[in-house]
Structure 1
Amino acid sequence: MKLNCKRMDLPYTPGEEIFTFPEESELSFIFDVDEELTDDPAAMDAVGEMLDKAEELAEKAKAAIKEALADENSSYHDVVTFFMQFHRDDVDPDIAAELFPGTDPSMLSFAEMVDFLRLKRFGSLVDSEMNQQVFIMDLSFNPEITDELMVIYFDLNNEIFCITHES
């Protein structure tokens, strides 16, 4: 089978997980799909559609992070604030300088830091609590320097339903 996607020609085997690194694909990020979805043509059509707009979804995720930073009443405010504070204030200054090149990291606002986030991984799985297909996006400042991630969960309607910090 082939993924119905405009951006890449990706053959896959139904019932087997898809997991590709950037050097193996035409993508700039890791791409993965759980094996239970590869058996479902409708689910795989949704994967192709979402993959075609991964960068657009990353921008939507960054906007949601900025909104959460600005809104102290947001359920995501504390998690995104902690993530930003850790990377600006709690890491060694030399590491912060590598994460935010061309800047004085101590002078960056948390909202300005969001612009440095990059798409590291995009994938799809069946959420066990919701029992439905979801899409997961990992954003990182620089995965070669830090393993800390902002993880954004999207539903089938391209809506964000969870933002979390993982490492």
Structure 2
Amino acid sequence: MKLNCKRIDFTYTPGEEIFNFPEESGLPFIFDVEEELTGDPAAMDAVGEMLDEAEELAEKAKAAIQGALADEDSPYHSLVTYFMQFHRDDVGPDIAAELFPGSDPAKLSFAEMVDFLRLKRFGSLVDDEMDQQVFIMDLSFNPEITDELLVVYFDSNQEIFCITHES
């Protein structure tokens, strides 16, 4: 089957998981879709639509992270604060300099650090709790240096419903 997507010409096999690295897909990030969804044409149409807007969704995710940093009452405040603090203060000055090129990491605010996050992976799966299709984005400062991720979950209406920290 062919993915209904404007940004890439992509063929997949229904019922088989999609997991492609950038050199395979031509995308600047890992692209994956759970096998359960590849057999559902409507779900795959949603994947194509969301994939066409991946960078815009990443910017929306970054704005949500900045919002969580600014709002101490946010359920994600401590999680994103810890993630930023770890990468600025706990990794050591040489690694921090590599993560935040062209800046003095010690002087960066956590909100400024969000601009350095990059989309590492875009995918879709069926959320067991919600029993519906969701979209996930892994954001990283530099996957060559750190395996720590902020993972942002979107529903089919492009609304963020969860942010987690994974490694």
| TM-score normalised by length of structure 1 | 0.99
The Cα of 1:161 is off from its aligned counterpart by 0.1
Structure 2 distance, partners of 1:95, 1:23, is 26
Superposed CA offset, 1:81-107 (max 9, x none): 000000000111100000000111000
2:46 equivalent in structure 1: 46
Q: Alpha-carbon deviation of 1:152?
A: 0.1
Match of 1:20?
20
Q: What is the Cα deviation at residue 19 of structure 1?
A: 0.8
CA drift of 1:25 comes to: 1.4
Per-residue Cα deviation, 1:108-144 (whole angstroms, up to 9, x for no partner): 0000000000000000000011110000000000000
Question: Using the alignment, how far apart are the partners of 2:148 and 2:124 within structure 1?
Answer: 20
Give the match for residue 83 of structure 1. 83
Which residue does the alignment assign to 1:166?
166
Superimposed CA distance per residue, residues 48-86 of structure 1 (whole angstroms, 9 cap, x where no aligned partner)? 000000000000000000000000000000000000000
Equivalent runs, 1:29-108 vs 2, <5 Å: 29-108=29-108
SS in structure 2 opposite 1:15?
coil
2:144 corresponds to: 144
Distance 1:47 1:80 in 2: 27
**Distance (whole Å) between structure 2 residues aligned to residue 137 and residue 130 of structure 1:** 18
Counterparts of 1:128 and 1:71, CA distance in 2 = 29
| Structure 1 residue aligned with 2:131 | 131
Q: Which amino acid aligns with 1:63?
A: A
How many Å separate the matches in 2 of 1:163 and 1:141?
16
Report the Cα offset of residue 26 of structure 1. Answer: 1.7
In 2, distance between residues paired with 1:123 and 1:80? 21
Residue type of the alignment partner of 1:136: I
Unaligned 5+ segments in structure 2 are: none
Say which SS state the counterpart of residue 115 (structure 1) adopts: helix
State how far apart, in whole Å, the 2-side matches of 1:14 and 1:27 are.
Answer: 21
Counterpart position of 1:5: 5
CA distance in 2, matches of 1:41, 1:23: 25
**Identity across the alignment (%):** 84
| Number of aligned residues | 167
Over aligned residue pairs, what C-alpha RMSD do you find? 0.4
Corresponding letter in the other structure for 1:14: P
Instruction: Give the unaligned 5+ runs of structure 1.
Output: none
Q: Secondary structure at the match of 1:103?
A: coil
Report the equivalent of 1:114. 114
